[in-house]
Structure formats: C-alpha cells, structure tokens
Amino acid sequence: MTRLDQQFTFLAEAEKLKSVTRATPIHDASRPENSGEHSWSLALYALTLAEQAPEGVSIDRVIRMLLLHDLVEIDVGDVPIHSQGGTAHGAEDILKAEAAAAERIFGLLPGDQGAQMLALWQEFEANETPDAIFAKSLDRVQPVLLNHQSGGGSWIDYDVSFTQLEERIGTKIARGAPAVWDWVRDRVEGWFAARS
C-alpha cells in the first residue's frame, strides 16, 4: 500500500462517523445530530470563539483535535453525557473501548501520520494541556446551545435539572472558557426555570 492508499482508506472509514447519532437534536429538532456534523460545529466554534481561549492556546491545534476527537465513535458509538445519571461517560470499559478504536482507526494511516493523530486524540482525552482543556470546553458547550435552540432536546429525554447541568457540564465549560459559561448559563437558566 502506498501512503495515498492508506490515507484514502482512513478517509473512507471516517465517513462512517456520519452514521453515529447523538442524544442532541439538530437546530429545528427534526432529527438527532450525528457525530460528523457535530465535529464540524465544534471546529467552527473554535474558530469563532478563538478570542475566549487563554493565552498560549493554538486555535489551529484545537481545530485539528476537534476534527478527530469523535472518530472512535465509529466503533464505540456516542455515549450521551446525561445517560445513567451522568456516570456512563467516563466509565472504565468505555474508555478502554475508545482507546482500542483509536488504535484501529488511526492505524489505517501511514505510521508517522497515524502516530501523530493518535497523540492528538490522546492529548484531547487526557484534558490536561491548555489546547485540550479549551477543546473540551467547546465540546461541552455546543450541545447545551443546541438543546436550547431545539427546545430542550436531551435535557427532556434524560430529565436533566439545571443543577445537574451546572455540575456535569457547566463546571467543565467554565474550566476552559469561563466567560462562555457565564453567557450560556444566563441564556439557558430560564428554560429550566420555566419547566419546573
């Protein structure tokens, strides 16, 4: 196999992410969002909210991370953040399955390139570097705004309270982008108040 053979094998595999559905509906609530288009949204969030990133964050690295971050879902599926009372997302067996998926999928690429992308995915997952922390906060904020835009989405399906949203998600958004969480909290709080 040539390098192009390997790269196009990877790209054909990646197309399957468009068939992985998420708990969040798209803007008009007409259907669930898929993880391919979600990844596009996140990259656009990074570009648009770049000035919210702390000093030293490379937005272009954040964008690259976000383009790749969900590819493991081709094997593992999306684990909704509010499922099982908010506990399923970081479960040991899921983390293991995702790590194996990353090895398989990035392993389709030429060795040097696969290793580079795998390292970027691992950095995102570890959530320790400034780039990863900012990327993670965007991954948390976009579904909140999409639930809000579409009339409730997975908040209704999983019967989420504002306190749970703040604990499970708000704290994570605030870690990478505090002003963003302030803005979003003010916008979505009313939705929960009107419901209770």
| 185 touches 166 (CB < 8 A) | yes
Q: Please say which residue, 93 or 191, places its beta carbon nearer to a copy of itself.
A: 191
| Binding site residues, a copy of itself, CB under 8 A | 3-5, 7-8, 10-12, 14-16, 18-19, 26-28, 30, 33-34, 36-37, 39-41, 43-45, 47-49, 51-52, 60, 63-64, 67-68, 109, 113, 142, 145-146, 149, 179-180, 183
Min dist CB 59 to a copy of itself, Å, is 9
Tell me the closest approach of the beta carbon of residue 40 to a copy of itself, in angstroms.
4
Return the H-helix or E-strand segment holding 25.
Answer: strand 21-25
Shortest Å distance, C-beta 140 to a copy of itself: 14
In this complex, which beta carbon is closest to a copy of itself, that of residue 92 or of residue 186? 186
Please, what sign has the CA dihedral across residues 81, 84, 86, 88? Answer: negative
* Residue 33 interaction partner, one of a copy of itself, Ca ion, none, beta carbon < 5-8 Å per kind: a copy of itself
Token reading at 100: 């194996």
Site for Ca ion (CB under 5 A): how many residues?
2
- Shortest Å, Cβ 7 to a copy of itself: 5
Which ranges constitute the DSSP H helices of the chain?
3-14, 35-48, 59-68, 73-76, 92-106, 111-126, 130-149, 154-157, 162-165, 171-176, 178-195
- Scan residues 127-166 and list those touching Ca ion (CB under 5 A): 139
- Those residues whose C-beta lies under 8 Å from the C-beta of residue 185, and which sit 6 or more positions away, are 166, 170
